[in-house]
Amino acid sequence: MKKLALHWQILLGMAAGVVFALIMTNFSWGADFVGDWIKPFGNIFINALKLIAVPLILASLVKGISDLKDISKLSKMGTRTIATYIVTTIIAVSIGLLLVNLIGPGRTISEETRSDLISSYEGDASVRISDAQKQKEAGPLQALEDLVPSNIFGAASDNSNMLQVIFFAIFFGIGLILIPEKTAKPVKDFFDGFNEVILKMIDLIMLTAPYGVFALLAALVVESPSADLFAALAMYALTVLLGLALMIGVYVLLVWVFTKNTPSFFINGIAPAQLLAFSTSSSAATLPVTMERVEEHMGVNKEVTSFVLPIGATINMDGTSLYQAVAAVFIAQAFGMDLTLGAQLGIIATATLASIGSAAVPGAGMVMLVIVLAQAGIPEAGLALIFAVDRPLDMCRTTVNVTGDAAVSLMVAKSVDMMGPPNVKEWDDDYHPEEETLAKTEKV
């Protein structure tokens, strides 16, 4: 399996898990064997994702905020960049919530299957439902009060307090910007290194993803073999894909309205970066190609691309945020939970803030989903329901992330009057753009 790309390994793990579980259901002892000897490895994989959530958000967010010190020099560009990224993220999450509530993929699950699901995760689900009930009974400003932790170590010890960790990380990052650069440098260097270590840990966890998916799918099929569960999963995947397609339409529309560039100009310009993003599932790995396409083929000044696009690769994860919103509500629907308007508004806030700290590497979106689920009081064990189709969706949402970065760079460049004609290289026998693209990618 080492010679195969990770997404193919995960797809094989999915298929093998389903086939293995179907074979085991033919034996009287099969379900117990899967539950005792296979499912624990899936739980270990989920725990590893939960383990990395707090360090990831802390490291990525502090690094992302501290990297924005250039706003003092480019205040006009910086303000418009951050504001546009936040607006597009809110639009993405809102589209996801609208679609998942209209389509209701989780509501297609029969009551019998839902009862089986709840009984399978009874302990976790009952705790979450109880927490959700407490939130309904709380005062109108309770959410604001809960945002500020009294003890950061206490907040970091529980994933359900992730907004408190995000608050601390933002507060810490702002403090880091405001102190003298010489004083801040050792702290910033620490978090830069810390962030690299966390990203490497994610890489290591994702290496076990094929086996984790095998265990999760095998347990899911054995414990709830109803066909309607898989039909609901297919509807969930289609809902995410529809939302991502609509989000690309939003980008095209924004570029058309604000920069007067035609949809074909934008799509043709960014298409190579989109394909690379789809194949690597990493907006960071795609960044050199994205910058080249936006500069050379769309006429955006290098000063804009070097500022806007790296920040976008760190804090602009519209596709990921949209997917998190759909996934959270889908899991809640699957467990028969009725999310209030307040809870769904909380999902918008949490997914928007979580996207700021979402690492630009494959699989980070699943880690950040832990934050959204915990904050909304949705059983985290529901990750097992959606991880089977996560890798293909990860490829699609990374494509949207990169497209969003390019769209925002065009709009910001237009707003600060730093756009010119495209500087497209002439095609000749000695120019091979695919080799240039490969060389740029290998440097990452």
Query: Lowest-confidence range among 26-35, 226-235, 353-362?
Result: 353-362
Give 325-389 as a DSSP string. Answer: HHHHHHHHHHTT----HHHHHHHHHHHHHHHHT--SSTTHHHHHHHHHHHHHT--GGGHHHHGGG
* Alpha-carbon gap, residue 323 to 314, rounded angstroms: 17
Nearest Cα to Cα of residue 21 among 211, 215, 208, 229 = 215
| Secondary element (H or E) of residue 395 | helix 390-415
- Site of tokens 């899911």: 220
Is pLDDT of 407 > 80?
A: yes
Mean pLDDT taken over the chain = 77
Is pLDDT of 432 > 50?
A: no
Paired tokens of 85? 């990224």
Q: What is the pTM of this model?
A: 0.66
pLDDT for res 428: 38
Is pLDDT of 251 > 80?
A: yes
* Alpha-carbon gap, residue 18 to 220, rounded angstroms: 9
Q: 224-228, 361-365, 373-377, 408-412: which has the highest mean pLDDT?
A: 408-412
Banded model confidence at residue 429, pLDDT cuts 50, 70, 90: very low
Is pLDDT of 102 > 50?
A: yes
Q: Which residues contact 409 (CB under 8 A, 6 or more apart)?
A: 294, 300, 304, 305, 308, 309, 312
Query: Lowest-confidence range among 137-151, 191-205, 239-253, 308-322?
Result: 137-151
pLDDT for res 181: 86
CB environment 149-168: b (16+ within 10 A), e (fewer) = beebeebbeebbbbbbbbbb
* Alpha-carbon gap, residue 36 to 261, rounded angstroms: 59
Using DSSP, state whether 224 is helix, strand or coil: coil
Using DSSP, state whether 268 is helix, strand or coil: helix
Paired tokens of 15? 């298929």
Read off the amino acid at residue 156: A
The domain over range 6-442 is classified in CATH as 1.20.1280? no
Paired tokens of 60? 């990525």
Banded model confidence at residue 321, pLDDT cuts 50, 70, 90: confident
- pLDDT tens figures, 105-127: 888 777 777 666 666 655 554 45
pLDDT for res 205: 79
Average pLDDT for 304-312: 77
